[in-house]
Amino acid sequence: MQYRKMGKWGLKLSCLGLGSFLTIGYKTDQETSRLLVRRAYEAGINFIDTANGYNRGGAEEALRPLLAEYPRSDLVVLTKVWAPMGPGPNDRGLSAKHIKEQCDASLKRLGMDYVDIYMCHRPDPDTPLEETIRAMDDLARAGKILYWAASEWPATLMLEANAIAKEMGALPISCSEPRYNLLFRYPEQNLFDTTIQLGIGNVTFSPLAHGLLTGKYEPGQEAPSGTRAADPDQNAVMMGMYWSEENKRKGKKLQSIASAMGTTAATLSLAWCLRHPAVTSVILGCSKVSQLEENLQAAELELGDDVLAALDELYPPPPPVPAA
């Protein structure tokens, strides 16, 4: 396993992390989840990604006994706040009140006295940045979180937030969590450059486009049962963003490129995410231990220029953002 610094900060994360959206504490049974965490730990994964919003606290609760099997100092635990946790007007978002209450609730669900990285799951246009930054800084000073972070915040918002944090003498954003995969390369437009400039690390999500980049979905056919695509409880994002005959055909071409290299489409797709210098860690979603075994191979796979060129042709990079 390789370990990478989170941007300019001292924290080191395994280049592959284990996620818990739709799997641990929801669709994956607890024994399989225990085996996933064990195999990840044994392979050197130290980084675990979760959120209060994953099954309304269910993922954090399922992780509590699983993570308690390991020394706390071996783990880098990231959880998030923002998603609705109840019907009330203050049960969501990034207000100081909700951040404080949900941090305490997450710590209780996780059975921990601090989280390493506390993340704003999305922006909250109803709350001034000053309020969110102050709330995060207070949690850091109270020893409940070590770093704070932002998922799917545009580059401009992170620039603004870190300028305000500097003025306030508060902790800036240390880590970002964008969606990044061969079918969704937009962080290459300006987000990755901005994070490098600000010393912010990136832990990236949905590296396999919910499974479409494994080549397991056949053109002209419905999704096989037991897959994320076939499950209406899980497939809303996948159907909205990635599910098309063209993407299934591309998945088969990706599989051919991978097999010519003696690897699989999943391993190749993950190694492709890892090649980017702005990426600290790629967060894996796995419903089975066999998937984790396959995906772990990505940490060792080197990609030559010929392969990168073939992938650029199949999945072209996004156009550059026009200068302002």
Q: Which residues are catalytic?
A: 54
Residue 152 Cβ, how far from ligand NAP at the closest point, in Å?
Answer: 6
Interaction residues for ligand NAP, span 81-120 (CB under 6 A)? none
User: Rule CB under 6 A: is residue 190 a binding residue for ligand NAP?
Assistant: no
Closest to ligand NAP by CB, 93 or 211: 211
151 sits near ligand NAP (criterion: CB under 6 A): yes
Distance, in Å, from the CA atom of 105 to the CA atom of 175, rounded to the nearest integer, reads 22
Helix (H, G, I), strand (E, B) or coil at 78: strand
Bridge partners (DSSP) of residue 119 are 80, 149
| Of the residues 7, 13, 14, 19, which one makes contact with ligand NAP according to CB under 6 A | 19
State which H helix or E strand residue 195 sits in: helix 191-198
Between 115 and 167, whose beta carbon lies closer to ligand NAP?
115
- Give the residue, chosen from 20, 55, 127, 176, that forms a contact with ligand NAP under the rule CB under 6 A: 20
Query: Count residues contacting ligand NAP (CB under 6 A)?
Result: 28
Q: Which of 79, 174, 202, 287 binds ligand NAP (CB under 6 A)?
A: 287
Using CB under 6 A, pick the residue from 92, 98, 109, 210 that binds ligand NAP. 210
The residue among 174, 183, 164, 161 whose CA lies nearest residue 202 is 174
Per-residue tokens: 270: 């993950």
266 belongs to the binding site for ligand NAP (CB under 6 A): yes
Instruction: Please tell me whether residue 280 binds ligand NAP under the rule CB under 6 A.
Output: no
Which SS3 state, helix, strand or coil, does residue 165 take? helix
Looking at the Cβ atoms of 225 and 323, the one nearer to ligand NAP is: 225
Give CA–CA dist 181/213, Å, rounded: 9
CA-only gyration radius of the chain, Å: 19
Q: Minimum Å distance from CB 169 to ligand NAP?
A: 28
Using the rule CB under 6 A, which residue among 14, 171, 285, 298 binds ligand NAP?
285
Supply 159's token pair.
Answer: 């620039």
Please tell me whether residue 118 adopts helix, strand or coil conformation.
strand
Q: Which stretch binds ligand NAP (CB under 6 A): 20-28, 88-96, 140-148, 316-324?
A: 20-28
**Partners of residue 117 on adjacent β-strands:** 78, 147
Query: For residue 251, what are its two tokens?
Result: 């998945």
Sign of CA dihedral 226, 227, 229, 233: positive
Q: Is 124 in the site for ligand NAP (CB under 6 A)?
A: no
Choose, by CB under 6 A, the member of 60, 116, 124, 177 that binds ligand NAP: 177
Among 121, 135, 48, residue whose Cα is nearest residue 84: 121
The amino acid present at 262, given as its one-letter code, is G
Q: How far is the CB of 226 from ligand NAP (least distance, A)?
A: 7
Q: Retrieve residue 212's tokens.
A: 């479409």
CB nearer to ligand NAP: pick between 23 and 95: 23
301: Cβ–Cβ under 8 A, 6 or more apart, which residues? 263, 267, 268, 271
Residue 224 C-beta: closest distance to ligand NAP, Å? 9
Among 76, 103, 295, 301, binds ligand NAP (CB under 6 A): 295
Smaller CB separation from ligand NAP, 134 or 288: 288
Q: Is residue 33 within 8 Å of 24, Cβ to Cβ?
A: yes
Residues in contact with ligand NAP by CB under 6 A are 19-21, 23, 49, 121, 151-152, 177, 205-211, 214, 216, 227-228, 266, 283, 285-287, 291, 294-295
